[in-house]
Amino acid sequence: MALEGENSGAHLQPDHPHLSLTQVTPSHRVLFSSSVLNLCELVALRPDLARLKKVLYFHENQLVYPVRKEQERDFQYGYNQVLSCLVADVVVFNSSFNMESFLSSISSFMNKIPDHRPRDLDLLIRPKCEVLYYPIQFPDVRREHDKNPELFFSTLIKLKERQLQFELSVLGETFTDPPEIFSEARLQLDAHILNWGFLSSKEDYLRVLSQADVVVSTAKHEFFGVAMLEAVHCGCYPLCPKALVYPELFPAEYLYSTPEQLCKRLQALCRRPDIARRHVVKVDTSSFSWMSLKERFETLLAAQHS
């Protein structure tokens, strides 16, 4: 069993991207930028970029991104993304969930402005939008506060109390101030733990996934879920919330609606591990691979803006 975490190669951009641009020449046709970049500000500072086809790629959106304590700067991040969409020629999202959650939140988000509140911005932006999944470089295998660790570990502790047999791998980075549940769970589940924490190499990470039978997401926030798809590609049976992006990627049989449903599903798999081991997951991971998606990316980046 493995908890979906941050050991995967899911990060598209650093938190504070550094931009280095040379002088634009006639051979430059497309400007491809992440949604963390303030495209509106960039074009204002570099008007020579205005003639290029400007593609904005969203791997997350700040309008529905969870914050523990909302600050003024959090509004500015979302506001920048809305303005960037107005400047962009094409706005690309890594999932339909990401796109719809962003567009449907614009109106209420802009209502936070005390004075002039632009209306119907979502109607201006929607025609520019499309969905293009994040391309994953899958291996050749033959077989954070938003991840809700409290639900994951409380479920496993229930399984332990019911004297069910399981082995546990929790993979991901150890942050400076991790939730207290991590240290508590590590003590209570010690006899079940195979791997804990960040693995230094991608090969070790994939090896653990290949040895696991079930991968669980208890995320309260997810725009795509590279780690879950990597685990499925490596042979894991997925259990995901019936929310966020997961119904877009996984058939209903792999989704749970309540903590009680998750516990019941895991309990059944602990008693009959052969069910997960023999099961062929009904998810075509190849459709999320670079080989499948590269032609669409090439078209997106090669097309001339009229």
> Which residues touch 157 (CB under 8 Å, ≥6 apart)?
185, 188, 189
Is the confidence at residue 64, as pLDDT, over 70?
yes
Residue ranges of domains in the chain: 2-8+138-285, 30-136+290-302
pLDDT for the residue numbered 238: 97
Q: How far is CA 59 from CA 18, 33, 50, 245, in A?
A: 18, 11, 23, 12
pLDDT for the residue numbered 11: 34
Buried b (16+ CB within 10 A) or exposed e, 56-69: bbbbbbbbbeeeee
**Confidence tier at 14 by pLDDT (50, 70, 90):** very low
Q: Name the residue with higher pLDDT: 234 or 4.
A: 234
Average pLDDT score over residue span 102-108:
95
Is the confidence at residue 9, as pLDDT, over 50?
no
pTM of the entire predicted model: 0.82
Q: What's the pLDDT tens digit per position in 112-157?
A: 888 777 889 999 999 999 999 999 988 766 547 567 889 999 999 9
Classify 2-8+138-285 by CATH class.
alpha beta
pLDDT for the residue numbered 198: 87
**Helix, coil or strand: residue 131:** strand
d(CA 266, CA 272): 10
pLDDT for the residue numbered 71: 62
Return the closest-CA partner of residue 59 out of 168, 173, 135: 135
d(CA 13, CA 47): 24
Is the confidence at residue 2, as pLDDT, over 70?
no
> Which residue matches tokens 């979302």?
78
Return the closest-CA partner of residue 40 out of 133, 99, 125: 125
Average pLDDT score over residue span 57-74:
76
pLDDT for the residue numbered 15: 42
pLDDT for the residue numbered 171: 85
d(CA 78, CA 61): 7
pLDDT for the residue numbered 119: 87
- What is the residue-averaged pLDDT of the chain? 86
d(CA 141, CA 230): 10
